Structure 1
Amino acid sequence: MGKKVLIAVDESEESVHALHWALDSSVVQQSDEVVLFHAQPHPRIYAAPAGPGGFFVAPELLASIEKHNKQTSEVVVEKAKNICEEKQINATVMVGVGDAREAICETVEKLHADVLVMGSHGYGAVKRVFLGSVSDYCVHNAKCSVLIVKKK
């Protein structure tokens, strides 16, 4: 049995590029266990005032947001799974819910992954300060080697 490779996927071109790169390079071997992981965000809830001291969130709105997040996850993991199949790599799929940085690092630890592969959006220093960087967080907090693939 080879190493356990966790590949973080999302809907970005950078993520797809990182997946292709990992499968085409010597990072992933036929004997490796490949896990495709997508972090589905918690639904963002916007509450409206509902009388003194209370707020109301329409259940339909919450259900709609959850449905959209689930559909996005299904599309992302299906695309990644198809890429693996085209390259004759067996991969399993996992979807977590929550902040991508924390969900990825928790999954690395839970699975005892040997390598984490992820794409980089290429944010500059200023954008990283305001938007945060999932890859930067994972480099410093994942309990395995982290390979960041940049798109040229």
Structure 2
Amino acid sequence: MEWAARVNSSAAPMNGGDRKRVMVVVDRSREARLAMLWALSHIVHGADILSLILFVPSSPSQHQNPMSAAAVSSASSSLSNSGGLLGRFQMPQEGRSKERKEQRSISELLASLKSLCASRRPEVEVEAMPVEGLDKGMTIVSQARKLEANVLVLGQKKRSLLQRLFNHKTPVEDVTDYCIQNAECLTLAVRKKGKHMGGYLINSRWQKNFWLLA
């Protein structure tokens, strides 16, 4: 297993010992959750750091406005503060209410996933954060570089029959392929095989649709 050998050799010295940072892209989908749990059980070791990253799309106009990052920044801060959502900023009442709702949704999702990981592997250090950007693939690759991730894991959804017949890629597949080809670290796309067939299909830069019976 080429990817498995690379995982084993990817640990870098951190805090005086051999540990690695495993970055997992999360969202509300079943595929992302399964990929997160797979990484937790197959890739992450006790001394490693698990970084859960939630991509939050933004528009070009929002990037020109300093207010654009307020919800994301506040949601990220709230995960490390028991007091809940932080940050108040000047904007119309309706816009402020919408921002708060988005903050709460982001914070609750990340807190829930972080709690799930902690319950499964309490010895593992888990961090969760939203990351805002225009392009999902580029944002993920940039964040992996910023965090100096050793391994990047993404969930992958099975294509429909029509998509397979016409060899049509979904937007999720486009993002996954981009990350696999452009991320500097080892990048794995994970999909559960199916209800009647156990195991997972693993895609990497070196292997396609590797069937892992575990």
**TM-score, structure 1 normalization:** 0.77
Secondary structure of the corresponding residue to residue 11 of structure 1:
coil
Structure with more relative contact order (C-alpha pairs < 8 Å, separation 6 or more) = 1
Structure 2 gap segments, 5+ residues each? 1-16, 62-91, 194-214
How do 1:49-60 and structure 2 match up within 5 A?
none
Deviation at 1:64, TM superposition (A): 5.4
Q: Give the residue type in structure 2 aligned to 1:75.
A: E
Deviation at 1:122, TM superposition (A): 2.6
Q: Give the residue type in structure 1 aligned to 2:189.
A: I
Structure 2 vs 1, CA of residues 76 and 67 (structure 1 numbering), >3 Å: closer, same or farther? Answer: same
Deviation at 1:4, TM superposition (A): 1.1
2:108 maps to which residue? 75
Quick check: 1:40–1:70 contact (8 Å CA) kept in 2? no
Matched, 1:126 2:168: yes
Quick check: 1:105–1:142 contact (8 Å CA) kept in 2? yes
1:100 maps to which residue? 136
2:58 maps to which residue? 42
Deviation at 1:66, TM superposition (A): 3.8
Deviation at 1:146, TM superposition (A): 0.5
The 1-side partners of 2:127 and 2:93 are apart by 32
Secondary structure of the corresponding residue to residue 110 of structure 1:
helix
The 2-side partners of 1:33 and 1:145 are apart by 15
Quick check: 1:43–1:66 contact (8 Å CA) kept in 2? no
Matched, 1:115 2:151: yes
Task: Tell me the alpha carbon deviations over residues 12-44 of structure 1, each in whole angstroms, 9 at most, x when there is no partner.
Answer: 11010001111122x100111211111112169
More moved, 34-43 vs 62-71: 62-71
Structure 2 vs 1, CA of residues 44 and 121 (structure 1 numbering), >3 Å: closer, same or farther? Answer: farther
How many residues are matched?
A: 138
Quick check: 1:4–1:115 contact (8 Å CA) kept in 2? yes
Quick check: 1:34–1:91 contact (8 Å CA) kept in 2? yes
Deviation at 1:60, TM superposition (A): 6.0
| Percent identity of equivalent pairs | 31
The 1-side partners of 2:130 and 2:172 are apart by 22
| Aligned CA-pair RMSD | 2.5
